[in-house]
Amino acid sequence: KMLTGIILLENLKWLLPTTFMIGAAPAYITAWAGWRAISAILPRWIYVKGDDFLFSTYHRNLLFFFETLTGVELIFYGDLNALLKNSENSLYISNHQSTMDWVIASCIAKRRGCLGSSRYVLKDGLKFLPFYGFYLGMHGSLFVKRAGKFDKSKAEKQLSKDAEDKIPTWLVIFPEGTRFNPEVPSALQDSKQFAIDQGLEPLEHVLFPRVRALEVCVQQLRPNLDSIYDVTIAYGGAYDFDNHQKLSAPTMQDFLKGKSPKVHIHINKVPIDTVPSDSSELKQWLYERFQAKDRLLTQYFECESESEARFPGIRVVKNIPLISLLPSVLLWSGVFTLCQISKVDRAMYWKVGSSIAGLGIVWMAVMRR
């Protein structure tokens, strides 16, 4: 019985937050649909401003569960001034190890004052993700196919429209295209071989970055961009320092269960006017950024223990004040809770939200080919 209780408590650590986060999605998508209908006759910038505000409130709800409730310690290094609130238009590039990487991008965006304008370059298949896929497309995210299937003209069309309308942007891109996972050594070997074929030095702790999506984003958005945030992430608990062995980075479920009590985040803010425009030069620039990530991670893994693990340089722990997250938690989690009180309320809640989500999937399948 004691073992059963322990297992139950362990599962509740992620089940309860997940229930509230996903449970709030129908309320959010319904509120967004209402705003979209109301703002249909208004200039696009008004819709975008309201949409960004809504998105920011929903994101704060998520950050409460992933950062505040878990008690994780986010340790920042590098350009620490980048943590000061100063809303700007930026591209965000990072090494990619886990679904948690998206949350870390939001944690930084919140500190920068860019949370509502967070948009993403996503795998094409994610546009069919219930609730979220359709909405993220409407919010300005870019869905791309891999390798030879990448549709450059489609990406250019969407981004040029955003640039023309001067849409506020914190655009998150993971140039590796897929997650680095030590349990899938074939992906790392393929990456190393690709580097060798290009006449370049293989990378040990990150995969070889692909430049196509970043190139289109830089070309189309450059007039409105201020900077590129080059971020390197190391998760506590994702390396066995005793046996010098890499482990899989924590999933969202692992994170909620407290399996990564610390996350080390190195930030390098690069002014956009220092980023090359030429395609071949940009490719070399991106590769050099990932070489630098590889060196940072090598230094991290060379530390003697988990408690001593760190990136080089000054480090700062900067928490998000609870007061800035609590209103969103009360709003979205509160609406979800109230709508579960009676059977009729529950049925209506899920029916309305699911209907809008279903129409969204149909829209993405038919209208956005």
| Backbone φ, ψ for residue 359 (5° rounding) | -65, -35
Q: Residue 367 pLDDT more than 70?
A: no
Give residue-wise pLDDT tens across range 111-155: 999 999 999 998 888 888 877 888 898 898 988 876 556 677 778
Give the model's pLDDT for residue 166.
85
Give residue-wise pLDDT tens across range 164-216: 888 889 999 999 988 999 988 888 898 999 889 888 899 999 999 999 889 99
CB 137 within 8 A of CB 32: no
Task: Give me the domains of the chain, ranges plus CATH numbers.
Answer: 44-321 (3.40.1130)
- CA–CA dist 6, 95 (Å, integer): 35
Pairing of strands 73-78, 90-94: unpaired
Give residue-wise pLDDT tens across range 217-256: 999 999 899 999 999 999 999 999 999 899 999 999 898 9
Burial of 17 (0-12, 13-18, 19+ CB in 10 A): buried
- CA–CA dist 22, 27 (Å, integer): 10
* Predicted TM-score (pTM) of this structure: 0.92
Q: Residue 318 pLDDT more than 60?
A: yes
- Nearest alpha-carbon partner for 300 in 206, 227, 369: 206
Confidence of residue 9 (pLDDT cuts 50, 70, 90): low
Give the model's pLDDT for residue 82.
82
Give the model's pLDDT for residue 123.
87
What Cα–Cα distance (Å) separates residue 114 from each residue in 31, 172, 231?
21, 12, 16
